[in-house]
């Protein structure tokens, strides 16, 4: 009987032990969270404060002529202002920004590579009534010359010839490369069907996507130089006596265009475009006071009396330069957040620092203390921690406007205490709900065993007495 009880208790204990979960040392079960209620480090360069109710802070106090707009600070890569930036728009000749990208990235030497204008290209361009560089059949040009011919006077004939060259005679192949590149740049609302921007219902983009393309192109060889050229003299390589002067379509960089009405000395490039379906479009940059902006405007009305997109460009630049400054909102030398730390000796928290300094566009008079910090970190960090180790991220906002996202790192090495780790692991085991349940079950089984053992012992004693009496 006693052996059976012991066997039963042993079986139950082994079964309970087999249910014990296995924990990996140093693992964390905390889920990433946005901790707006946690305490920030008081000495940090950025402190958390309630977002000010100012939805209009980053919106101009005037109405645009253009349907869609995107204004980007290139120093911080921040979208400062957008209007219908993801709305489907027809790009017209601003398409040539992508044509430039594909050409310059696929021609090894633009000065030695050449192409001759043929009847094939002429037949496609004739009758379109579109802008051209005046290329003639039989004229031979370098790719470098054709880039000028495409971007300065917005020559559709030059764009087509470049696409023919890069596509090895197949323009559709070139267009496929344009779409592939757009996707690689993160453009989600763009689709091209030609290299020059002639209207097609399936040829479209967005102001946001166009800003992505222009930002990329600004870092390519010759792009800024060509886009900011007002007059270019084009001479065919095989006809040196022919002189053809090409003039920019961008009245914002040409003091003599439109009587200087739209000229702005701070504006640089980039590309104009218009069709009856697209309206007037303009992509430009401006540099003033050490700050650089990119402006994309699309869909301004076609009006011979005024260029609405150029008026919008001037107004947006005047607004941003007059009312906003670049402010350092986070420093890599100042802590920005603090989180609990596990398994370290004699400390229970770790301070987190921005991986790098962060500069953002803020309204005039607004300091870094008005910026709100929203961290995205685990509820606790497990030692060991290495200096420079990425712990999480923090989003910096002002007046509900996202300014930047910065990675948070440790600025010191923190070793793990094996004693603290072992004690923490033991505590985690002994305080776990499953352990408490199993412990209670074992106590109950032990109590049952004791009761049964006592009962069995007494019964055995009684049986001995009965047996003794029977002998008498």
Phi, psi of 46 (to 5 degrees): -120, 125
Q: How far apart are CA 386 and CA 363, in angstroms?
A: 38
Residue with tokens 């090409």: 246
Choosing from 67, 96, 181, 268, which is the catalytic residue? 96
Active site residue 96: yes
- CB under 8 A, 24+ apart: contacts of 289-293: 289/321, 290/326, 291/73, 291/75, 291/321, 291/326, 292/73, 292/74, 292/75, 293/71, 293/72, 293/73, 293/74, 293/80, 293/317, 293/320
Q: How far apart are CA 423 and CA 32, in angstroms?
A: 25
Percent helix, strand and coil across the chain, each rounded to 5? 35, 25, 40
Nearest to 235 by CA among 245, 225, 227: 245
* 2 labelled binding-site residue: no
What b-and-e string marks burial along 423-451, b requiring 16 or more CB atoms within 10 Å of the CB? ebeeeeeeeeeeeeebeeeeeeeeeeeee
Nearest to 173 by CA among 181, 182, 164: 164
Within 8 A by CB and 6+ apart from 413, the residues are: 384, 385, 386, 387
Beta strands (DSSP E) in 244-290 are: 244-247, 267-275, 279-288
Q: How far apart are CA 392 and CA 390, in angstroms?
A: 6
Annotated binding residues for substrate, written as ranges, equal 271
Would you name the residues annotated as active-site residues?
93, 96, 154
Annotated binding residues, written as ranges, equal 271
């Amino acid at each position: 009987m006693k052996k059976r009880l012991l066997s039963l208790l042993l079986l139950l204990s082994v079964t309970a032990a087999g249910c014990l979960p296995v924990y990996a040392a140093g693992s964390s079960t905390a889920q990433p969270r946005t901790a707006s209620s946690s305490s920030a480090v008081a000495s940090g360069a950025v402190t958390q404060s309630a977002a000010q109710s100012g939805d209009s802070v980053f919106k101009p106090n005037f109405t645009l002529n253009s349907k869609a707009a995107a204004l980007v600070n290139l120093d911080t890569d921040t979208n400062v202002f957008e209007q219908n930036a993801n709305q489907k728009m027809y790009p017209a000749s601003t398409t040539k920004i992508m044509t430039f990208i594909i050409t310059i990235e696929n021609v090894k030497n633009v000065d030695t590579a050449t192409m001759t204008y043929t009847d094939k290209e002429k037949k496609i361009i004739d009758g379109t009534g579109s802008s051209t560089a005046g290329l003639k059949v039989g004229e031979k040009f370098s790719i470098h010359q054709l880039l000028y011919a495409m971007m300065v006077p917005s020559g559709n004939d030059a764009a087509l010839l470049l696409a023919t060259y890069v596509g090895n005679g197949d323009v559709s192949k070139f267009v496929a490369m344009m779409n592939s590149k757009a996707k690689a740049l993160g453009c989600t609302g763009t689709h091209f069907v030609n290299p020059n921007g002639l209207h097609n219902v399936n040829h479209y983009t967005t102001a946001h996507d166009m800003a992505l393309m222009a930002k990329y192109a600004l870092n390519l060889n010759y792009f800024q130089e060509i886009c900011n050229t007002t007059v270019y003299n084009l001479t065919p390589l095989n006809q040196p006596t022919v002189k053809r002067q090409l003039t920019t379509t961008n009245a914002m960089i040409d003091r003599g265009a439109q009587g200087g009405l739209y000229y702005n000395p701070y504006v640089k490039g980039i590309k104009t475009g218009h069709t009856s379906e697209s309206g007037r479009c303009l992509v430009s940059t401006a540099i003033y006071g050490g700050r650089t902006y990119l402006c994309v405007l699309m869909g301004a009305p076609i009006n011979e009396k005024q260029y609405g997109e150029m008026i919008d460009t001037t107004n947006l630049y005047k607004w941003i330069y007059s009312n906003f400054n670049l402010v350092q909102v986070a420093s890599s030398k100042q802590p920005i957040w603090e989180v609990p730390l596990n398994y370290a000796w004699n400390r229970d928290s770790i301070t987190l620092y921005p991986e790098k300094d962060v500069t953002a566009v803020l309204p005039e008079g607004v300091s870094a203390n008005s910026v709100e910090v929203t961290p995205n970190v685990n509820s606790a960090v497990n030692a060991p921690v290495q200096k420079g180790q990425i712990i999480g991220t923090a989003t910096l906002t002002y007046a509900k406007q996202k300014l930047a996202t910065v990675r948070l790192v440790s600025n010191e090495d923190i070793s793990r205490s094996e004693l603290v780790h072992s004690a923490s692991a033991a505590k985690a085991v002994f305080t776990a709900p499953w352990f408490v349940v199993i412990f209670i079950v074992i106590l109950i089984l032990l109590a049952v065993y004791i009761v049964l053992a006592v009962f069995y012992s007494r019964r055995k004693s009684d049986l001995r007495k009965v047996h003794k009496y029977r002998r008498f």
